[in-house]
Amino acid sequence: FNPLLIVPGNERGVVLATRLSHELGLLGNSIDNLDAMTLKNEMHKRLAQRGLRSIKGKVIHCLDEALEYYDSENLKEVVIKPTYSAGSASVRICLNRDEMIDSINHLFDNVNYYGDEIDELLIQERINGTEYIVNTVTHKGIHRVTLIWKYNKVRTSEGAIVYDSCETVNELGLGEAGMVEYAYKVADALEIQYGPVHGEYMIDENGPVLIEVNCRPCGGSMPAEFLDRISGQHETDSILDSYLKPNCFYGELNKGYND
């Protein structure tokens, strides 16, 4: 087919698209960074290596490992999630040790978003704050924001997460501007050179911190016409500009963030 680009449409396609782009010599991101781009534990390890704020956590393969880590770190509220998944599937917020035990026992008998059996989990300290989505595109290592969302989630009695509402951030407050600067540093740490990053962040009393990055377009099922009206540009156009049309990319970048 002699493709010009290979761009992932969802999280499952990030590894394949990156490898194909590498094999075919197309514009894309380095396969050397794939673990940090896709595995939730590895992206935080990369941030820590680069001196950026990250969330303390550990990959565990059984309940005993989780209990040892929980007790040794004097944790209270924690988040349990698969190292590779999407859509908040199999994510649990645990308010105490007993809830963590119940969640781990349940999740090790479960599957991730893609139907794969879960054989390892990431346990992290819980960060309490306001949660955001920061969507960016990148051209030759230069990043620009396409859209920012602030959203609310509801915790079920089992500790699972239900999305309640999303609202666009139309003007950047001081903390939100700092979050964007931090998001750019996260993209630098992951050595993102081209294309979209759908990042999830939290702002608490200590400032912004990454929840996770997803190196593909933002998901969801909202009509394209609705999103285009909000962001002023079709998301596909923004992504293609970041690869192929630097003049358009920098033109949008120089406008600043203003919905």
Which pLDDT tens digit goes with each residue over 40-78? 999 999 999 999 999 999 999 999 999 999 999 999 999
Check pLDDT > 70 for residue 256: yes
pLDDT mean over 181-209: 97
Residue where the block lists tokens 């009393």: 205
Q: Provide the whole-model pTM.
A: 0.92
Are 148 and 133 in contact by the 8 Å Cβ rule? The answer is: yes
Residue of 165, 164, 134 whose CA lies nearest to 149: 134
Phi, psi of 101 (to 5 degrees): -60, -45
Cα separation, 46 vs 23, in Å, equals 25
Q: What is the pLDDT of residues 112-152, one digit of tens each?
A: 777 788 899 999 999 999 999 999 999 999 999 999 999 88
